Structure 1
Amino acid sequence: MARAGPGLRIDSFRNLWFLLFVPTNLDQILSVIVFFHDGRFVYLTVESKAYDVVCRRFARKVPAIVVSVNYRLAPEHRYLAQYNDDFDVLTFLDDNKSQVLPKNANLSHYFLTGANLAHHVAYRAAESNFQKLKA
């Protein structure tokens, strides 16, 4: 299983980026899991060892392509910044699928994980007009 590069940057100003975990040796069409890490909006990042292990396990065991999102943290960035960052990653994936995801990624079959963040981002995504992401 491989991780694609040091991270794919979406917005340098906001330090918004994600890590991509892609199972190896799989030619089948794969679902996409968008992973929003825990940390109570205050600490930890996608580079934390525990989250690296979890994302690798998802990619290997499910199997699926995992997008692990690094969003802005509080208290430097007040509430809603985290939700906006995470939603913006979905928008980025919808707009740039062919440039950032493997060809076998199926964005019409994606999952969000990360409790509170996933719930609110999913609600917002369901009301959006994405072209490739299907809620």
Structure 2
Amino acid sequence: MSNPIDPTVDPYGYLGMARNPDGSVTRIVEIFPTTPACSNPSDSNPVLTKDIPVNESNKTWVRIFLPRKAFDSDPAVKLPVIFYYHGGGLILLSADSTMFHEFCSKVAIEIPAVIVSTEYRLAPEHLLPAAYDDCMEALQWIKPTSDEWLTKYADFSKCYLMGSSAGGTIAYHIGLRAVRDDLNPVKIIGLILHQPFFGGVKRTQSELRLVNDKVLPPCVTDIMWELALPTGVDRDHEYCNPMVGIKSDVLEQIKDLGWKILITGFDGDPLIDRQIELAKVLKEKGLRVIDEFSEGGFHGYGIRDFSEANKLFGVLKNFITS
């Protein structure tokens, strides 16, 4: 779906919002379609899905994606688990947004894997770290769950944290938290940061080069971070800029556990330099990092059109099955 509004001219309109005189925002229209879950085995979909509440007071939940082939076959052969976090700049979209529903369905089939996609609270109604807290709570919720799809088909010894765009940022922060928690039986063995959404006060060269980008120009990411970050902080806060407050002891724990980290990006994305910088720093810390940075593309490349995502699915499969 294309948005006719030029983001460099009307960034709030491009995001489906209006800025109010008091600094708050009004969501004008929901411009992204959603898809309901379907757990009926008689349905023709190649992936079964269902939604399960996590915290009803916060209206958070998870959507589980189970490949039909797994459902119809011997459950003794369990599948790796991918905890997925959707994008949207921390202010938009949902786990049931059609683009992410279809993307998770495709990943579930291609790997194959059980996908657990988390619905988290959005800013500006809920400032950071609300989204990070919600996704950590959902990860801990898995521990005592008795849901049959998870107990019967999920191999909790092979778990990955994955996110696209802002979801990649969430996966990174949840990884930093999770390494210090007892999540048994969940055993995380890798992070997948798909075009992660990071920021900072000083513009990078790619942000300057793509200042008039028609998909995600810096003026739009500035607004997203302004709406998402805690009151009174700037984009050099650790929630936004991974180069700030690097926790060497936590990274050392990740290194000792042998986690693999995949970071993907495209040079048509204004955020590419920040993604490259993170990969470089993590490698210097001795972590097992695989980076897949390609020419062309744009932010969100492959999410909306699977004809553009075949390489990504291949990279994901190799990363998880190797």
TM-score w.r.t. length of structure 2: 0.40
Indicate if the aligned counterparts of 2:114 and 2:154 stay in contact, CA closer than 8 A. Answer: yes
**2:61 pairs with 1:11:** no
1:24 aligned partner = 68
Q: Higher Cα Rg: structure 1 or 2?
A: 2
Match of 2:93 among 44, 60, 65: 44
Shift in Å, 1:112:
0.8
Q: Which moved more, 1:85-94 or 1:25-34?
A: 25-34
Shift in Å, 1:102:
4.3
Shift in Å, 1:94:
1.6
CA distance in 1, matches of 2:49, 2:97: 17
Q: Which moved more, 1:53-62 or 1:25-34?
A: 25-34
Match of 1:99 among 147, 162, 168: 147
Q: Which has the higher strand share?
A: 1
- AA aligned to 2:121 is R
- AA aligned to 2:66 is V
Q: Which moved more, 1:64-73 or 1:122-131?
A: 122-131
CA distance in 2, matches of 1:76, 1:99: 31
Q: Which runs of 5+ in 1 are unaligned?
A: none
- AA aligned to 2:109 is R
Shift in Å, 1:134:
1.4
CA distance in 2, matches of 1:109, 1:83: 22
Q: Which runs of 5+ in 2 are unaligned?
A: 1-45, 189-322
Identical positions, percent: 30
TM-score w.r.t. length of structure 1: 0.92
CA distance in 1, matches of 2:151, 2:47: 12
**2:133 pairs with 1:88:** no
Q: Which moved more, 1:80-89 or 1:26-35?
A: 26-35
**2:172 pairs with 1:119:** yes
- Three-state SS of the structure 1 residue aligned to 2:68 is coil
CA distance in 1, matches of 2:129, 2:115: 23
Shift in Å, 1:104:
2.3
Q: Which moved more, 1:24-33 or 1:68-77?
A: 24-33
CA distance in 2, matches of 1:133, 1:20: 16
Over aligned residue pairs, what C-alpha RMSD do you find? 1.3
Shift in Å, 1:12:
1.1
Q: Which moved more, 1:25-34 or 1:77-86?
A: 25-34
Higher relative contact order (CA 8 A, sep 6+): 1
CA distance in 1, matches of 2:185, 2:170: 21
Shift in Å, 1:74:
0.2
4+ residue segments displaced more than 6 Å: none
Shift in Å, 1:76:
0.3
CA distance in 1, matches of 2:153, 2:62: 19
Shift in Å, 1:131:
1.6
